[in-house]
């Protein structure tokens, strides 16, 4: 199987390189100016949502049926909006955005002690990691380290992975989703900040186990794996948010690409780079990808093209490709990222003042649950802004 995977990777890389064309560039300053205007609209919507305030809902997640959805700090998406504010500050250096970033980041602080979720990378590291990088505030450093301790409590050394979910115990015993790769950055950073190598070791073990079990020979990924914590064996390979157990859920492939690119950055292990390149080429050469590069919600939905796209998957992919390009310059990844970013910027951004102030539209959250289909959503905006910054 490993030999077959290497052959596939070589062919895909050749295909990508031979098909490289010059992509149009996005005017980053203009894109950020538009994003700032949208965010000002969203901030007013938040301020006017008195019901959300009474319910202690602190972060905007999406818009469905014309209504703004706010969430509590315990929601897995709670950290994206404050992190977007950090990106606006990073680009503009405007004190206004710094003050707002600090304000909304503080609202998520309590989750550093949350041991009931694997999503602390999203919830804590996105806002506090960016906040620490941009300000050096030692209070943010301490939150990152504590969150890593909380996340580490979900690691099982026999299975070699961090447990994702505690719900639906009738369906699985120890579920691990591909999304979990995104939370490893928190652990890598905590080792650098604390000197405690246990966080690093957990991250590497999880990445290795996931690479061994979560991928098919063509580098596509299952969404959910169920582990036996007594033997470490995989009990089931299935999906929760994809079309079916054998399909490739678009955002899952994007999480995988971003995750292994990040793992290479943190470890310089060439195995992770090869994995990231294989995933990238699967995404970029898949026959179901439309001309503009923005994927349908699942690569294998038989109703394509009459199904929803997922701009969030494209934004995650673009951001990851910009980083991957720094490790493999000349392989065509920057050109592909430019194309994705251009498509998002020109055809998937909200009209000024629309969508309650969210930046991108046409994302798909959880189609099988009939939830958040063809809507704006905060993580799409976050990775779009990150991609804009990385494009420079």
Q: Is 119 a catalytic residue?
A: yes
Instruction: Kindly list the distances between the CA atom of residue 86 and the CA atoms of 27, 54, 132, 333, 357, in Å, as whole numbers in the listed order.
Output: 20, 26, 10, 26, 17
Which of these, 316, 349, 341, lies nearest to 36 by C-alpha position?
349
Residue of 119, 298, 301, 310 marked catalytic: 119
Distance CA 359, CA 38 (A): 6
Residues in Cβ contact with 382 at an 8 Å cutoff, skipping those fewer than 6 apart = 80, 81, 83, 84, 87, 126, 315
Q: Which helix (H) or strand (E) holds 67?
A: strand 67-71
Beta 363-366 vs 234-238: how paired, if at all? Answer: unpaired
Longest dimension (CA), the chain: 59
Could you report how far apart the first and last alpha carbons of the chain are, in Å?
A: 39
Distance CA 338, CA 58 (A): 33
Residues in Cβ contact with 29 at an 8 Å cutoff, skipping those fewer than 6 apart = none
Instruction: Kindly list the distances between the CA atom of residue 392 and the CA atoms of 29, 210, 312, 384, in Å, as whole numbers in the listed order.
Output: 10, 32, 20, 13
Distance CA 333, CA 327 (A): 10
Residue of 179, 301, 310, 381 marked catalytic: 179
Residue pair 388/23 in contact (Cβ under 8 Å)? The answer is no
Distance CA 254, CA 76 (A): 17
Is the torsion defined by CA of 128, 129, 133, 136 positive or negative? positive
Phi-psi region of 295 (alpha: psi -120 to 50; beta: other; left: phi over 0): beta
Q: Is 49 a catalytic residue?
A: no
Active site members:
119, 179
């Amino acid at each position: 199987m490993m030999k077959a995977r290497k052959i596939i990777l070589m062919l895909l890389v050749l295909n990508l390189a031979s098909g490289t064309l010059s992509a149009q560039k996005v005017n980053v300053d203009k894109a950020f100016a538009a994003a700032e205007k949208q965010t000002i609209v969203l901030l007013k919507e938040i301020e006017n949502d008195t019901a959300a305030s009474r319910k202690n809902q602190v972060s905007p997640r999406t818009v469905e049926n014309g209504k703004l959805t706010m969430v509590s700090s315990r929601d897995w998406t709670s950290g994206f909006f404050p992190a977007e504010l950090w990106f606006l500050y990073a680009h503009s250096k405007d004190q206004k955005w710094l003050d707002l970033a600090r304000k909304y980041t503080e609202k998520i602080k309590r989750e550093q002690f949350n041991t009931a979720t694997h999503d602390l990378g999203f919830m804590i590291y996105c806002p506090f990691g960016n906040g620490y990088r941009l300000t050096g505030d030692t209070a943010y450093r301490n939150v990152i380290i504590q969150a890593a301790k909380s996340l580490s409590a979900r690691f099982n050394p026999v299975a070699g992975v961090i447990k994702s979910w505690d719900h639906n115990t009738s369906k699985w015993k120890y579920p691990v989703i591909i999304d979990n790769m995104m939370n490893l950055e928190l652990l890598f950073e905590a080792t650098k900040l604390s000197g405690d190598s246990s966080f690093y070791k957990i991250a590497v073990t999880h990445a290795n186990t996931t690479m061994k079990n979560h991928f098919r020979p063509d580098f596509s990924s299952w969404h959910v794996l169920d582990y036996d914590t007594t033997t470490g064996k995989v009990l089931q390979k299935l999906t929760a948010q994809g079309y079916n157990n054998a399909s490739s859920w678009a955002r899952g492939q994007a999480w995988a690409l971003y995750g292994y690119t990040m793992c290479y950055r943190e470890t310089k292990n060439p195995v992770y780079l090869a994995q990231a390149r294989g995933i990238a080429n699967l995404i970029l050469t898949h026959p179901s990808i439309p001309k503009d590069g923005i994927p349908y919600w699942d690569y294998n939905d038989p109703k394509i093209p009459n199904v929803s796209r997922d701009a969030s998957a494209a934004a995650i992919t673009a951001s990851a490709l910009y980083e991957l390009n720094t490790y493999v310059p000349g392989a065509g990844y920057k050109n592909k990222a430019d194309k994705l970013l251009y498509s998002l910027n020109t055809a998937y951004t909200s009209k000024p003042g629309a969508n309650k102030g969210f930046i991108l539209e046409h994302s798909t959250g959880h189609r099988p649950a009939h939830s958040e289909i063809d809507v704006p959503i905060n993580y799409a905006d976050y990775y779009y802004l990150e991609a804009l910054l990385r494009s420079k």
